[in-house]
Amino acid sequence: MGRYVVRRLLQMIPVFIGATLLIFLMVNVMGDPIAGLCGERRCDPATAAQLEREFGLDKPVWQQYLTYMGNLFTGDFGTAFNGQEVTELMATAFPVTIRLTLIAILFEIVVGIALGVVTGLRRGRPVDTGVLLLTLVVISVPTFVTGLLLQLLLGVKWGWIRPSVSSEAPFDELILPGLVLASVSLAYVTRLTRTSIAENRRSDYVRTAIAKGLPRSRVITRHLLRNSLIPVVTFIGADIGFLMGGAIVTERIFNIHGVGYQIYQGILRQNTQTVVGFVTVLVLVFLVANLVVDLLYAVLDPRIRYA
Amino acid sequence: MRGATHAQWIVCAVAAALTATACGGGDGGGGSGDAGAVLSASWGDPQNPLEPANTNEVQGGKVLDMIFRGLKRYHPETGEAQDMLAESIETTDSQNFTVKVKDGWTFSNGEKVTAKSFVDAWNYGASLRNNQRNAYFFGYIEGYDRTHPEDGGEQSADTLSGLEVVDELTFTVKLSQKFSTFPDTLGYAAFAPLPQAFFDDHEAWVAKPVGNGPYAVDTYTKGSQMSLRTWEDYPGDDAAQNGGVDLKVYTDNNTAYTDLIAGNLDLVDDVPASQLKNVESDLGDRYLNTPAGIIQTLAFPYYDENWNRSGSEKVRKGLSMAIDRDQITETIFARTRTPATDWTSPVLGEDGGFQEGLCGEGCEYRPDEAKQLIEEGGGLPGGRVTITYNADTGSHKDWVDAVCNSVNNALDNERACTGNPVGTFADFRSQITQQKMSGPFRAGWQMDYPLIQNFLQPLYYTNASSNDGKWSNNDFDEFVDQANQETDTAKAVGLFQQAEEVVRDNMAAIPLWYQNGSAGWSERLSDVKLNPFSVPVYEQIKVS
């Protein structure tokens, strides 16, 4: 187990370096960021040169990358064009997005798995068909449509919520955006759980458990569900990173100043430091989430062992 | 906002769900013009650090306009430059100016505004060391080439030799050339005075700017909100009619508009294009749509042989005549743009140099003549044109496609004109500065100050700062030089108009339309106006 974790952690290093290098190159391909800094007007050459020097843009890309990585290990993520430290931006953006992601994940786990269990146990019944249809609708409608529609109905027409989230972005204001963000994944979780439950319901160990006279609830939670969760856990694990990075649409609709907003701004203003900094952290989140998922397998199914 | 806590908010939601009663902000009030009430307004995150000489976009400019007053101020309605802190600005030769500052002005931290406040601020702005984006505004002042060597050489002075403090409230300015309208440029935010606190602790100042305007910054959370409160001891006669303004950052103006409709926001100063058809029914007369000092044009790359040969002016004029401005401004912009008939802006007024119809038939939609002209001029280079634009902001794609459609119809050629989108503004700008354009490209111009000079010289003078197409014409340059030397304003304006005629005769750039500013507001507000820069005149807004 220990050796497995160490090996996995070591594998992260090349993935991490490769990912950051790719992003660094991609942002650099987009052209000269200084050119956009002075609006419709050309920056005067002397100021432009001075700014380039300040942001280290006058050096070749490989050297910029090395300097960047060097600084990274001392916790220096560089400075955005408006003079703010990127770490400062992260300190304000990440807590918000983490709250949003937490709510989304909670929805996925609680609602998604519950619905999946219910439908999986009642295959072919009206409940099952109903939920299947509903999830199909949710999957096929794009997030921004759901988001804008709910915002209009709940926020403007009925006045139940505020259409935009305040800058503090507390949990209660994030419930609706969280649900919108989770919606598509939620539908997938439901469907995955349903199939998995329906399949395992006929397996030998479930029949044995029932034959032993165990109470139905125990059979379902300890035996059936536990074994059926492996594909679901894999999905949710991968989804954490996806939700954090993919929140751009939801964050825009509800005016949430989180990670998606910062990355979007960074790309528009072609701010290498912001984009690379945020994506670097997201890559780390992705890698760690994947590791946790892999470790969870063993908890769910003891037959899976790590050498 | 308005004091509803989150607990209240939930109760509201539940109550609303149960009884279907509206649960507004609970702001109470009534009556009109509560001088202590605070309004909330939409805002965008400023792109650069907030310093007077470092802010060149609308969002940062908004704040500077609230917390600073300079020597001059542009009248919110007429755009005329009027004395603000200036007691007098005198000159005999249009090159040496003596500026007297009014007595009795202070910064909101109590420091007195003196001649030194201006001289220090301008020296700071001009110094290359400080990386100020607007440094070129000080380019006319003598000694600029030493504090800000354009050729990339070493900076050999920290202060402008043309500035000299005479006594506490007097200083002199020596320009490197004659510039008769120089005093009128001094209303621009870059020329604002700075307190000593700015130089003593720069970081603290940028975190919470201190100025001498009707508002003072109360709190500033970068990227999300700035709260400005009325400065009680403000000595000017344009003191704020409300208690303050909370500027809230919106990532999307659609969300801001939704918030306005839902009653969570008081003022939106950029109604999204997609909402224009609803705005009448949503807001009624609480909506404003007035011309601003912005003109959209198509510029040409004169560094490209194809656009710089004899006869190509006919091609350019032909292209211009192939564009149906009326239809495009109506269908795509819902009349929030006005078809352009000259190269300046209506906000200048007749006296300021705006001349309706100066462009003449060149800006009228005449498809047949257009086709003929282009043929006479040797046809489109390579048989077709591409219009380059940035696709990330605005609705540039929509109108470029429409313009191309119009050109294609006029020329009876499906492939005569195509749009060439560039992903980001930064990339678009960098392609322009690297002179990579091969055909016409989008060029928007928002004035710095309401002067005809500002619409012509930076854009069309040989090697001027925003002459992106590298157009060059001796006659034009001559008229501009003469105009700048002319001390009589009316005569100077006349000379600038003659220069503009040179632009017209060569169709140096195709004028498309003047852009309007728009604003929508809640029932709590009254007296909302937009100034010629399309920024709300915050201090005049009354809150009930």
Q: Of all residues in chain B, what percent carry a pLDDT higher than 70?
A: 94
Does B294 contact chain A (CB < 8 Å)?
no
What pLDDT, on a 0 to 100 scale, did the predictor assign at position A24? 86
Average pLDDT (A250-261) is: 90
Confidence band for B113, pLDDT divided at 50, 70 and 90: very high
Phi-psi region of B393 (alpha: psi -120 to 50; beta: other; left: phi over 0): beta
| B15 pLDDT higher than 60 | no
Substitution target in A27, A50, A263 with the highest count of B β-carbons within 10 Å is A50
Average pLDDT (B57-83) is: 92
| A256 pLDDT higher than 50 | yes
Query: What ipTM was estimated for this complex?
Result: 0.84
Average pLDDT, chain B: 89
What pLDDT, on a 0 to 100 scale, did the predictor assign at position B477? 96
A156 vs B262, B431, B446: nearest CB:
B262
Confidence band for B176, pLDDT divided at 50, 70 and 90: very high
CA A250 to chain B, closest CA, distance in angstroms equals 11
What pLDDT, on a 0 to 100 scale, did the predictor assign at position A240? 87
Question: pLDDT of B407-464, one tens digit each?
Answer: 999 999 989 999 999 988 888 988 898 889 999 999 989 898 899 999 999 999 998 8
| B19 pLDDT higher than 50 | no
Interface of B with A in 315-344 (CB under 8 A): none
Buried b (16+ CB within 10 A) or exposed e, B251-272: bbbbbbbbbbbbbbbbbbbbbb
| A vs B: CB pairs below 8 A | 179
Average pLDDT (B237-244) is: 93
CA distances from B411 to B111, B319, B345, B376, B511 (A): 65, 9, 30, 13, 20
Residues of chain B neighbouring A30 (CB-CB closer than 8 A): 423-424, 426-427
Residues of chain B neighbouring A55 (CB-CB closer than 8 A): none
Question: pLDDT of B138-149, one tens digit each?
Answer: 999 999 999 998
Does B269 contact chain A (CB < 8 Å)?
no
With CA atoms as reference, report the closest residue to B384 among B436, B440, B428, B429: B440
Residues of chain B neighbouring A261 (CB-CB closer than 8 A): 251
What pLDDT, on a 0 to 100 scale, did the predictor assign at position A54? 82
What pLDDT, on a 0 to 100 scale, did the predictor assign at position B457? 93
Interface of B with A in 30-69 (CB under 8 A): 45-49, 56-57
CA B101 to chain A, closest CA, distance in angstroms equals 30
What pLDDT, on a 0 to 100 scale, did the predictor assign at position B433? 86
| B18 pLDDT higher than 60 | no
Q: Which of A55-69, B39-53, B371-385 has the lowest mean pLDDT?
A: A55-69
What pLDDT, on a 0 to 100 scale, did the predictor assign at position B252? 85
Confidence band for A305, pLDDT divided at 50, 70 and 90: confident
With CA atoms as reference, report the closest residue to B543 among B520, B523, B514, B517: B523
Neighbouring C-beta atoms of residue B155, cutoff 10 Å:
14
| B338 pLDDT higher than 80 | yes
Radius of gyration over every alpha carbon of chain B, rounded to an integer in angstroms: 25
Does B19 contact chain A (CB < 8 Å)?
no
Contact A45 B152 (CB under 8 A): yes
| Residue B405, φ and ψ in degrees, nearest 5 | -55, -45
Does B470 contact chain A (CB < 8 Å)?
no
Q: What is the distance between the alpha carbons of residues B25 and B9, in angstroms, rounded to a whole number? A: 9
| A106 pLDDT higher than 80 | yes
| B11 pLDDT higher than 80 | no
A30 vs B136, B150, B426: nearest CB:
B426
Does B509 contact chain A (CB < 8 Å)?
no
Question: pLDDT of A110-128, one tens digit each?
Answer: 999 999 999 999 888 899 9
Contact A167 B224 (CB under 8 A): yes
Q: What is the distance between the alpha carbons of residues A268 and A265, in angstroms, rounded to a whole number? A: 5
What pLDDT, on a 0 to 100 scale, did the predictor assign at position B153? 77
Substitution target in B14, B47, B275 with the highest count of A β-carbons within 10 Å is B47
B128 vs A39, A50, A81: nearest CB:
A50
Q: Ranked by mean pLDDT, which of A2-11, A219-228, A264-273, B189-198 comes out on top?
A: B189-198
Q: What is the distance between the alpha carbons of residues B158 and B177, in angstroms, rounded to a whole number? A: 21
Contact A252 B23 (CB under 8 A): no
Confidence band for A267, pLDDT divided at 50, 70 and 90: confident
What pLDDT, on a 0 to 100 scale, did the predictor assign at position A74? 87
| A227 pLDDT higher than 90 | no
Contact B56 A39 (CB under 8 A): yes
Centroid of chain to Cα B388: 22
Where do the H-state alpha helices sit in A141-271? Answer: 143-150, 175-200, 204-211, 216-218, 226-245, 248-253, 259-268
What pLDDT, on a 0 to 100 scale, did the predictor assign at position A286? 87
Confidence band for A307, pLDDT divided at 50, 70 and 90: low
Where do the H-state alpha helices sit in B377-488? Answer: 396-411, 425-433, 452-460, 474-485
What pLDDT, on a 0 to 100 scale, did the predictor assign at position B33? 66
Contact A253 B252 (CB under 8 A): yes
Contacts of B465 (CB under 8 A, 6+ apart): A41, A42, A44, B136, B458
What pLDDT, on a 0 to 100 scale, did the predictor assign at position A164? 87
Average pLDDT (A250-276) is: 88
| B26 pLDDT higher than 70 | no
Interface of B with A in 246-265 (CB under 8 A): 248-252, 255-256, 258-259, 261-264
Residue of B nearest to A33 (CA): B426
Contact B135 A47 (CB under 8 A): yes
What single string gives the DSSP state of each residue in B405-435? HHHHHHHT-TTSEEEEEES-HHHHHHHHHTT
